[in-house]
Structures are given as C-alpha cells and as structure tokens.
Copies of this chain bind each other. A is one copy, B any other.
C-alpha cells in the first residue's frame, strides 16, 4: 500500500466544492439546550441534557454496541423560530465516523430546513472540513427579515459524547418556540443501520427525518448500526420511551437468522404490549437487498424472515390485537431497488425517499384510526 501523495485541492478549482465560509462576525451565540429551543428525537434529553438517544445509565445492562451507538445523534433535531437574517452553526467535536460509503456531511454534519410543518424546504448543509473535529459554518444569510421556523437535523453517524453546539443569530433577533406538533405523541422507530440513516448524504434525508417533515409529530430514531438485534433488554428500554404514539419495528436487517428472529420478534412485541397494551405497532420487513438478485439462499432467507413477521402479526390480530400492522419492506424500493443503495444494503437518499413514500400512508392510516378510537373512547 502506498502513502498518500500530495494532491491538488479540488476546492481551489471548484469553489462550490469548498466547505468553508465566513460570516459569523458580530452574532449572538445561543445554546440549543436552553428554552425556547426545542430538542426533538432524543427522548431522554429533557431529563439528562445529553445529545444521546438512550439514557446514560439504562436500568438494566444493554449490549455494549447499542450503548455506544446511542451516542450517534440520528433523528435528533433543534427546532425554533427566529427572524434572524443570519444563522451560523458552531460545532465542536462532531465525532463523525468517516465511513467510506457515506458522505461525511451525513455522518458528522447538520442540515437546515426552513418553514412550517408541511411547507418545510431544504436550505443548506454543513460542508465542513472533514479533516477537523470542529466547524463553524453559515447556514443562511437572508436579505429579508421575517419569522422563520427552523429545523436543524443532527448528524447520523457520530460519537456525540463530547459534541458542543452553539447557534449564532443576529444580535437582538427574536427567538421563539417552534410551531407546535399536532399532538404530543412520539413515533418511535427501532431498527438497524438503515434505520439510523446509513447511508444518507445529509441528516435530513434519513427516512425518519423525511417523515418528520410530512407528519407533524416527534420522531424518535432508535436505529443501531449492525446492532438492531431485537434483544429483550433493548425491547424493555424502547418500551420506556414516554408518550409513544406508534412503535415501528424495523430490525430484520440485523436479526436475519430466521431461527433467531422467530424468537426475538414475538418476544419484542410481547414486551411492548406488556407496557403499552394498545399503542399501535407497525412491523416493517427488510428492504430488498441487491444480493437477492444473485444469491438464491440469501433470497430464500429473506423470504422466510418476512413470513415469520407477517405470520406473527396476522396470528396476533386474529387473537384480538387490533393495533398491529405489517408493511412489506421488501417492496418499498420498487422495481429498480438495486439502484437505491450504495452497497446493495444501505439506502441512499433515493432509497430513503422511497422508504418514506411507502411508510407515510401506513403511518397516516394508523394515526387516523387511533384518533377515531380516541374520540370513541371519550364518548
């Protein structure tokens, strides 16, 4: 193997490829940890104040890898309203994993969306210098002053244990709480590396973040890269997320031995049901991997795993559980599913958009039914 040679810097040739930009002079700096900023997607943030997806000390031991990957901030969001014409993000120790098959902007970067729920549009992403642990970047500089709803999506594949965040706004700019959610319930998605957002080009393109722009509720991303194995101790922890409106179980990708899945999947549902007898649970089988085209044994295993989940859900519905749903993830990516991943497994933005498109009607249907039954119960 050869050592790195000195290379011509693309950023000198194409300034659009440059990550650096200035413009933070004279701003006021704010911590998103304080009101009126709202941190979404990190269910233990309010109690513990950490950028982490699980409690720092779970009640019972959980697998080391799950505990470590809880420090990835996938699905985390900073939400607020401001009339500041400038927004600068100052990040220390983003902790990107620097994987080869995912843009660093997705792993250690933030992106910025503007607009009220249902009208949110992408504005910018942090094109930082990936050789450094810190960055300070302008996310927007608008000509017009008006109150805008801002959503900043947290990095997807990073170790945020030492991450520090400051938000730079024009001095004296108004800062207000975000537009309220439609209701207080959370959509909790448990799963794999794909759930965690591998391999979106930027955080906003992870399917849970895409869905959060379409359905005005809090989404909690509990995807654990390679570690969504459905262990009962993890199930018990997932069950402790407060105010669950829907649980989405999407862990076949990491629990792909049919024998194991046949044990873990019913067990997981039992644990959730014990804690939440009537919260809807949507089970999603694995998206179609490219290997199913070339490896018949792999394809057969996928079919078996899908059947195990589908049958289990069917059985339980027949037995009286009216709040269970199954979605065939194998069909989510469409006919050209092989074009939707970077490596045959991990979705790109293309794959994630299709996953969001496929999941959205399920979630809407479940939410609509839940609303109807809530109204009925009240009567």
Q: Which residues of A contact B (CB under 8 A)?
A: 1-5, 7-8, 10, 13-17, 19, 65, 68-69, 92-93, 95, 97-105, 109, 114, 121-125, 127-130, 132-134, 140, 142-143, 157, 159, 162, 193, 198-199, 201-202, 204-205, 210, 225-227, 290, 293-296, 338-346, 348-350, 353
Contacts and interface: CB of A to CB of B under 8 A. Distances in A.
A5 B204 CA distance: 26
Contacts of A68: 8, 13
A293 B121 contact: yes
Contacts of A340: 349
A82 B243 CA distance: 57
Contacts of A350: 205, 348-350, 353
Residue in A101, A294, A345 with the greatest tally of chain B CB atoms within 10 Å: A101
Given A8-B159, A226-B14, A101 B99 contact: no
A125 B343 contact: yes
Chain A interface helix/strand/loop/mixed: loop
A193 B162 CA distance: 35
A14 B225 contact: yes
Contacts of A226: 13-17
A86 to B, nearest CB: 12
A171 to B, nearest CB: 22
Nearest to A122: B338
Contacts of A353: 339, 350
Given A101-B104, A201-B101, A350-B348, A125 B342 contact: yes
Contact of A349 (B95, B159, B210, B339): B339
Given A133-B1, A350-B350, A100 B7 contact: no
A340 to B, nearest CB: 8
A247 B248 CA distance: 49
Contact of A100 (B65, B101, B127): B127
A48 to B, nearest CB: 21
Contact of A122 (B3, B101, B140, B290): B290
B348 A348 contact: yes
18 contacts: A5-B133, A16-B346, A17-B225, A19-B100, A101-B109, A101-B125, A102-B201, A121-B338, A122-B338, A122-B339, A123-B290, A123-B293, A124-B290, A124-B344, A125-B342, A201-B201, A340-B349, A342-B349
